[in-house]
Every structure is written in C-alpha cells, then in structure tokens.
Structure 1
C-alpha cells in the first residue's frame, strides 16, 4: 500500500454551518479532508439518519424508541435525504479544484442493524436474514454515494469511504441490548460479521475507492477488519490495550499493508490540552511492536479519538490542528 495520508478527522463536527465546517476540514487537513457531518442540525443529520438516507428500497422513520423501518418514506426520511444532498452541494462548492484524496463517511451495516428497528419493534440485528437485506441495500446505496461524491469533486485523486462501526465489538460479544432494553441480542459469529463486511468492502473497491472502517469502542476486531479487506482501520488508540493478542493484531495489520488511523487527540474539550510531544509519545508507543519510527510513519494516519460533534467549536479546530502537527512531528522523527 502507498504511504497513508498524515492526518484526518473522523467525520462529525459541532455546529450547524455546513459551509464553515467544510472550510475547516479543507483548511486544516489538506492531506485528507473529509465531508463533515453535523448532527446538531437535528433528526436526519445523525449517523443513523444519514445511513437510512443511503438505503435503496428501504425506508425508515423516527419512532419514540428510535429509527424504525417503514413501508414508504415520510418526513424524517425526506429530511435525512435533504441533509445529505445539502452536504454534497457544499462539497461541490468547495472541491472543484481539489486534487488529493477525499474522505467520506457512512454508518456500517452492523452498527445500523444494531440500532435500526424492524417494523414490529425488534432490532434488525435479531434477524440475520434482515441484516443481509440491509447490507445489500446499503451496499447499493454506497455505490451511488461514491459516484455522487466523485461527480461533486471531479478532480479528486480518489475517494476514501469510511464505514463507522462503533457497535461491532458489542455485536461480536453479544452485548447489544434488545429494543426493550431488558435483554441482550445473541452474539454474531466472527465469520458472519466478516463475510458481511467483506462483501460491502469489495463493492467499494470495485467502485474504484479505498475503504476504512472506524470503531472508537474498546475491543476493535482489527484482525477481522483486515481479513474483510479494509485498507485502513481507524480506532481510539488510547483505548487499545497492550495485551499480546491486541499487539499481534496491530503488528499483523501493519505487515499486511493496512493503514492505521490512530485516534490520539481528545475528541472533547480536555481539562488540559495535550502538547504535540505528548501526542507523539502515544504514537511512538507502538514501537513496542518492533517497528521503527520510520515504519510507523509509513503506516499511520493521525486523527482525533472519535468524532468531534461533542466538542466546542474552538476545540474542534484545535483538535484537527493538533492531529496535523503531530503527523508532521512523526514525519520529522522518521526522517
């Protein structure tokens, strides 16, 4: 794999001004800007709402318990689709001359299935047949989304699609709650989870794009994501344990040419802002795997630990600046 981008953001930002958010992403992250997501705009701008807007021949509306499948699109579905189109419109305004790699994001099938409810109220995750249908619908929608992004940023070198899968560790452990909240859904076998993701990631590759999978929850299944075909694995590096099994998965990913998007910058306002050297030390702790600073620089992209929707606007900007500066410091260390 080629040298990864030095720094990027996860996807979400605070506020409701799409134009300002796009300018921030492109100004502070010239190496790998991203299409900002602004959940503060309300229903339909959230991760799950945006995911439902990508589905083909499947529709959802917000019920008191959350997003639920419906027979036909209603107000919430139209609102989610409108937000997605607005963001692509702003992208087109800002990316006409952009020639680097552009990152766009979408919720992954397992997190969507863990949240979205069937028409009778159970989570889709309770029915693996329904999950397969959902994954197929999402795959078709993501093909269209990638084609639209390429059209809006016509000179972009390539598109990198990031799938957000914060629920995946819980899916594998069997800790996702039922819709009632009184029980837990049965764990999904690793082979089933891997196969579903592999089919979607292959479609992304067939569309000429690269693929990343982001998970900011503890217990990121790095080996599964590598085997499923992810070009990048994005995670909260401060939550990764130093257990032998975790280190082995990280080492195997680097050796296989999978890029690591390391979340080291706090995603919410810290009591005391870390300095670049502190953040660099977190990255260089991976030298325990036997890789040099130069080898890490050839495998690592620096990011915040998760999305920045919960940060204040000043910290969101500072977090992206710190990610970029830490990446520069790593490159200097490697030279």
Structure 2
C-alpha cells in the first residue's frame, strides 16, 4: 500500500441544504446538480424490475433458475448471492476478491488487505473467487438447460466508499484511515468491477449488463461514525470531495470508450447510498446522499442508445432510493431527487416498500406533479433477502406500475 497509516482528514460536513420543501417537483434540480436533460433514458421502453438478491441456503442452481424464470425477458435478473455458503460468498468478500494486485484474507474483525509479501492466492481469496465463478457458471448452465437466453444481467458489488469502511489494513485499522490506501483500493475497485462486467458477458452470455453499486456505509464513512479497531474512538470522516472523486473516477472508467469496446461498460448502474452504522442524527440523509452521488456525474453530451454497451456515465448511471412517502418530513426532499433524476432522463431505481404498492406510488407521482410518462426510466427493487415468491411479487409490481403508466399516458 502507498498510503501513510494514521493520516487524518478534515471532517466532512454532516448535513447539507435540503433539496427543497415543496411537494411540487423542483425543475431547478435538473441543472443544480449537473443533471442536464438527455434525449432519452439509456434503455427506454418500460418500467422494469431488478429481480434477485440474497438467498438462504446453498443451492446456487435453484436460485439461478428462480431468478431467470421470474425475471423473464422484461426485467433485470440479479446474479444470486448465497452467503450461507460461508466467507467469501457475502457481498464484502465477493467484492474484495475482485481487487487486482491486492491480496485479501479473512481475520476475526473482517476482510483485511494482506501484508506485503503475502500470497495473492491464499485460501480465503481462492474461496471467494470460487464462489463467484460458481454463481456465474450455474447461471449460464441453468439458462442453457432451460433454453433461456440471458439478454440482460445485473450484479451487486459493494461500492468504493463502503469497501473503504469494511476492509482493514495489515496494521489493524480500517482502510478508511489512510489516504494512500483509500486511493489504491478505489482504483483497484474500478479495475476489478470492469473485469466482472466483462465476465457477465463472456461467461454468462449477457448482452446487456447492469451494476448495483451498494453503498450501505456511505453515510457512516462521510460522517466519521465507524469505530476504530479499539472501539474507543471513530475513524475520521472521508471528505465529501474525495467521495465524489472516487465515484466520478469509477464511473468515468466504467462508461468510457475503452470499457464500451471491451464489453465492460454497464447499460445501467445505480448508486445505492445508505445509512448503516449511523444514528438518526448523524451523517447526511438519504436525499443528501442521492444528491452527492449525482454531483459525481458529468453532464451528458449525447443520447444513450440501447445498444447493450451503454453511453456516457451521466446517461447510464442513476441512484437507488426508497419509494418516497410525501407525508413524512423527509418526503418532499426525496421527491425532489426523484423528480430531478426523472426529468433528466436518468436511470432511477425505486425500492419497493411494503404497504406502498404501484397504485399508491403512481398516485404520489401525480400528486407531486411529476409526469407519469417519465417513470419509463424506473427500475423497481424488491426486498434484500429473497425467495421465489418475493421475486414474483417484485416483477408483478413492476408490470402493474408499467400498466398504470401506459394507461395514464394514453
């Protein structure tokens, strides 16, 4: 690692100006956060669902069959995760094993960057790599046996900020404490994820790929809320400018011309910034996190075609948010984010919240003054832990939302 252990940074602001308080969608959001309108979403056509998630049990073939079957041709199947298989099958281990030239091993406190001179193919690393390969091969084999063409395929990875908060240095502290280590890991993350997207095409046969960039620790990293190894203090916050830099660099590489030519560019990607590890009073809120992600994106220069390769980062990358409730205090700000992204024609993933079905969601769309036709770029996300019934409900909810959208548009 090139960093200097113990290096500290100035604390990041823990709050930001709310994105408005009116229920009406704020048109200024489109330009205020660099969201200049593009001519059409990266993959126009209909509301889709992200079908899949974390499975209980050990049967990768069963998870693959259920995922492909319920997704059908209209929706995004998500490469199944089966963490019950043990270390390396969970999201952090799976993502850590993608990092090129950085050996990782599992310690009692979590995944660690191995000391200099350590074998790059240690048991923990090999096991995590084997789990991912099995998942890809099971999916491809199941699709072939059932005669299912994999037109599209999505995968979840732990995002760079959350990986900085989850990985540990050889000296026993989190990677987040060391500026040089943060740069190394963020750069390796981008290279590793680009390779994974290429594997979705070459090994699973996917024509289009999508990337769920899961950032559950984003708020905790920005707020300096993560405990140190001793537990007696917390890690200094990562500056917001640095967070934007990591996201911007990753997205620029993933959606660049070289990535498009090699098949490593996603047709869609969503930054899902969460607040795990933060109290209600700490760190940026959901709307602020979504806006921070938007600040990492360049202004689009041309419409993105649905050619399976994707366009610029600004056209293909969006955010994931919970379905906003306009009647709660944070609802108006959340709807400002949803409205701004929808007006700009960017991908937007809406997490399906129990009790707020498609009918309620579409009523809220009309209530806040958003054109229902703009929901064409939405992707509906289901629960984190899934089974076949949960997959079916998510796909059906997306179909119902699409039916309501077309009815209103007609």
**Interval of TM-score (by shorter of Structure 1 and Structure 2):** 0.7 to 0.9
The answer for the alignment partner of 1:269 in structure 2 is none
Could you say which residue in structure 1 is the equivalent of 2:399? 328
* Aligned position for 1:118: 169
Alignment partners' CA distance in 2, 1:238 and 1:180: 38
Partner residue of 1:290 out of 369, 372, 386: 369
Match of 2:318 among 206, 212, 232: 232
Give the 3 Å change call, closer, same or farther, for CA 288–132 of structure 1 in structure 2: farther
1:223 aligns with 2:291: yes
Tell me the secondary structure at the aligned position of residue 55 of structure 2.
coil
CA apart distance, 1:282:
3.9
Is the Cα–Cα contact under 8 Å of residues 111 and 165 in structure 1 kept in the other structure? yes
Measured in 2, the distance between the counterparts of 1:241 and 1:93 equals: 48
Q: Distance in 1 between matches of 2:138 and 2:92?
A: 21
Q: RMSD of aligned C-alpha atoms? A: 2.3
Contact 1:222 1:253 in 2 (8 A): no
> Contact between 1:124 and 1:130, CA under 8 Å: does it hold in 2?
yes
Offset, 1:149? 1.2
CA 1:279/1:319 → structure 2, altered by over 3 Å: closer, same or farther? farther
**Alignment partner of 1:38 is 2:38:** no
Query: Structure 1-normalised TM-score?
Result: 0.86
Secondary structure of 2:381's counterpart equals strand
Distance 2:274 2:389 in 1: 20
Q: 1:25 to 1:238 in 2, by over 3 A?
A: farther
Is the 1:264–1:282 contact (alpha carbons within 8 Å) kept by the matching residues of 2?
Answer: no
- Aligned position for 1:256: 344
Q: Which has the higher helix share?
A: 1
Shift of 1:157: 2.9
Bigger shift: residues 225-234 or 43-52: 225-234
What TM-score does the superposition give when structure 2 sets the normalisation length?
0.71
CA contact (8 A) 2:137 2:204 kept: no
Q: Deviations over 1:58-93 (max 9, x none)?
A: 111111111111132321111111111111211221
Q: 1:302 aligns to what?
A: 380
- The separation in 1 between residues aligned to 2:250 and 2:102, in whole angstroms, is 17
SS at match of 1:233: strand
Q: Which has the higher contact order (CA 8 A, sep 6+)?
A: 2
- TM-superposed deviation, 1:115: 0.9
Higher-Rg member (1/2):
2
- Residue 91 of structure 2 corresponds to 47
Q: What SS does structure 1 have at the residue aligned with 2:389?
A: helix
The alpha-carbon distance between structure 1 residues 95 and 153, as it changes in their structure 2 partners (threshold 3 A), is farther
Deviation per CA, 1:282-325: give whole Å up to 9, x if none.
454244432133322x13211124x21xx6xxxx2222111111
Measured in 2, the distance between the counterparts of 1:103 and 1:136 equals 22
Residue in 1 aligned with 2:112?
68
From 248, 263, 271, the counterpart of 1:213: 271
Q: What are the ranges of 5 or more consecutive residues in structure 1 without an aligned counterpart? A: 267-273
2:149 corresponds, among 91, 98, 118, to 98
Aligned 8 A contact 1:54 1:141 in 2? yes
Which stretches in structure 2 are left out of the alignment for 5+ residues? 1-40, 260-264, 277-284, 298-315
Q: After superposition, what is the alpha-carbon deviation per residue over 1:194-241, rounded to whole angstroms, capped at 9, x for unaligned?
A: 110111122221223232222354733111222323623123336996
Match of 2:248 among 192, 195, 198: 198
Q: Give 1:189 deviation, angstroms.
A: 2.1
Q: Which of 114, 122, 127 is equivalent to 2:178?
A: 127
